């Protein structure tokens, strides 16, 4: 992998990740852009103990542009985009309309391929490995920023999810705090460790799932399963079998095997509802240990946390979506329409021949 860092016309950082070491990236952003101005603010909810970001500048962000005006495609002639070069393998750049900025963290866009009509599932294993390497590099770089406590790499796909740019891409959020979802995991981890005299909850969950009926696929270094208490109709958790706290700690064997396993999972998601459906909308979310202090989670260290990816769709059956209505949105109590055992069975049925 070759990494080349440059600056866009408004001062934002852009990084090319290339498969070939001899690739030259010297194109200049020719757009007449003013410096980016953001108004991100973190506010804490005293009753719930969590935080929200207020980012009013995002109201003007790009919204469903036609394909020939996509800002994530490479620049072609006088059609200028966020990527100055005429081609790329993987690109990461600071979001022009970030939810988090400055002392409130940082937001980046990850373009998986220059092919506007592709998806992550269409990538080759070599391309998918390059994306993994980019996620890992950005996790390392962002973790050293003084305002950052947790790094979150994720992909939203599909208009049903709320995606406003059709080009295959994901995002990275670098939060200035430990996110509420991670805090819940850490509290459960601490309580289980104390109650069992030191047993790791992640290890216990993975061992139990591998012995059960909800395994979707398993390889030498990775395991994918539908969790016992899945929140979403089709939800898969992907774990490296050797517990590590973050992407940085994955060994070479797990990195090498990841593209094959992950691409197969994504392709199964595209097959579960049949060929007559539009591509399955999904969210793919990496959960990594925070880089900040963990004193409030008694007896827990970063090494107790288990890196894992959660992949889920909001589609519950052919042509129907799962909406977060009163119970889910008002009380955070999910109601799942599909038994997790049946979801796992269905995801095994659509395996590649």
3-class DSSP string for the chain: CEEEEEECCCCCEEEEEECCCCCCCCCCCCCCCCCCCCCCEEEECCCCCCEEEECHHHHHCCCCCCHHHCCCCECECCECCCECCCCCCEEEEECCCCCCCHHHCEEEEEECCCCCCCCHHHCCHHHHHHHHHHHHHHHHHHHCCCCCCEEEEEEEECHHHCCCCCCCEEEEEEECCCCHHHHHHHHHHHHHHHHCCCCCHHHHHHHHHHCCCCEEEECCCEEEECCCCCCCCEEEEEEECCCCCCHHHCCHHHHHHHHHHHHHHHHHHHHCCCCCCCCCCEEEEEECCCCCCCCCCCCCCHHHCCCEEEEEECEEECCEECCCCHHHHHHCCCCCCCCHHHHHHHHHHCCCC
Residue length, the chain?
Answer: 353
Q: How far apart are CA 219 and CA 216, in angstroms?
A: 11
Is 64 catalytic? The answer is: no
Question: And the tokens for 350?
Answer: 């659509």
* Closest by Cα among 165, 170, 157, 141 to 66: 165
User: Roughly how many angstroms between the first and final C-alpha of the chain, as a whole number?
Assistant: 32
Q: How far apart are CA 152 and CA 232, in angstroms?
A: 20
Catalytic residue, candidates 169, 192, 221, 308: 169
Would you name the residues annotated as active-site residues? 169
């Amino acid at each position: 992998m070759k990494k080349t860092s440059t600056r866009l016309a408004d001062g934002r950082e852009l990084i090319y990740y290339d498969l070939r070491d001899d690739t030259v990236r010297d194109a200049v952003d020719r757009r007449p852009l003013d410096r980016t101005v953001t108004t991100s603010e973190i506010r804490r909810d005293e009753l719930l103990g969590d935080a929200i970001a207020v980012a009013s500048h995002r109201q003007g962000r790009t919204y469903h542009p036609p394909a020939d005006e996509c800002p994530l495609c490479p620049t072609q002639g006088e059609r200028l985009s966020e990527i100055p070069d005429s081609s790329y393998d993987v690109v990461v750049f600071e979001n022009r309309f970030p939810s988090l900025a400055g002392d409130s963290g940082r937001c980046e866009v990850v373009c998986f391929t220059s092919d506007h009509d592709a998806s992550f599932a269409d990538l080759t294993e070599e391309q998918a490995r390059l994306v993994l390497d980019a996620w890992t590099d950005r996790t390392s770089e962002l973790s050293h920023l003084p305002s950052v406590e947790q790094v979150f790499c994720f992909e939203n796909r599909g208009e049903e999810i709320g995606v406003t740019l059709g080009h295959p891409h994901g995002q990275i959020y670098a939060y200035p705090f430990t996110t509420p979802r991670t805090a819940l995991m850490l509290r459960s981890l601490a309580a289980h460790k104390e109650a069992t005299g030191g047993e790791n909850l992640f290890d216990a969950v993975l061992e139990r799932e591998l012995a059960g009926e909800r395994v979707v696929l398993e390889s030498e270094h990775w395991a994918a399963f539908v969790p016992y208490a899945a929140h979403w109709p089709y939800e898969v958790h992907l774990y490296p079998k050797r517990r590590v706290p973050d992407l940085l700690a994955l060994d070479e064997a797990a990195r090498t095997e990841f593209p094959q396993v992950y691409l197969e999972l994504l392709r199964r998601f595209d097959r579960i509802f049949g060929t007559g459906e539009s591509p399955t909308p999904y969210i793919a979310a990496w959960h990594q240990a925070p880089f900040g202090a963990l004193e409030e989670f008694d007896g827990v260290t970063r090494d107790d946390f288990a890196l894992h990816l959660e992949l889920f769709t909001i589609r519950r059956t052919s042509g129907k979506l799962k909406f977060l209505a009163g119970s889910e949105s008002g009380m955070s109590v999910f109601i799942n329409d599909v038994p997790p055992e049946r979801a796992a069975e269905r995801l095994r049925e659509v395996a590649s021949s």
